Amino acid sequence: MNLIFFGPPGGGKGTQARLLAARREFPQISTGDILRETIAAGTALGHEARRYMDAGDLVPDAVMIGLIAERLDQPDARGGFTLDGFPRTLHQAQALERLLASMERAIDRAVEFRIDEETVMRRLSGRRVCRAGGHIYHVEFAPPQREGICDHDGSPLRQRDDDQPEVIRRRMEVYRREIPSVLEFYRVRGLLVALDAAGDEETVYARLEEALAAA
Ligand SMILES: [Zn+2]
Query: How many angstroms is it from 136 CA to the middle of ligand 1?
Result: 8
pTM, whole model, 2 decimals? 0.85
Q: Reply yes or no on whether 128 is catalytic.
A: no
160 assigned to active site: yes
- Which of 13, 109, 123, 207 is flagged as catalytic? 13
Helix (H, G, I), strand (E, B) or coil at 34: helix
Ligand 1 centroid from CA 150, angstroms: 5
What is the pLDDT, as a whole number, of residue 26? 85
Task: Please tell me the distance from the alpha carbon of residue 103 to that of residue 24, in angstroms, as a whole number.
Answer: 22
88 is catalytic: yes
Helices (H), 55-89: 61-72
Instruction: From 62, 104, 70, 88, select the one nearest 8 (Cα to Cα).
Output: 88
Query: pLDDT (tens digit, 0 to 9) for every residue of the chain, 215 residues total?
Result: 999 999 998 888 989 999 999 998 889 998 888 888 888 888 898 899 999 988 888 889 999 999 999 999 999 998 899 999 899 999 999 999 999 999 999 999 999 999 998 888 998 899 999 999 989 999 998 999 999 999 999 999 999 988 898 988 988 888 899 999 999 999 999 999 999 999 889 999 999 999 998 86
Q: How far is the CA of 164 from the centre of ligand 1 (A)?
A: 20
78 vs 112: CA distance, rounded Å: 23
Please give the backbone phi and psi of residue 48, each rounded to the nearest 5 degrees, phi first: -65, -45
Position 215 scores a pLDDT of: 65
**CA nearest to 112, candidates 6, 205, 214, 8:** 6
Dist. CA 149 → ligand 1 center (Å): 8
Closest CA to 213 of 6, 5, 24: 24
| Catalytic site residue from 18, 24, 105, 171 | 171
Ligand 1: distance of its center to the CA of 162 in Å? 19
What spacing in Å lies between the alpha carbon of 124 and ligand 1's midpoint? 18
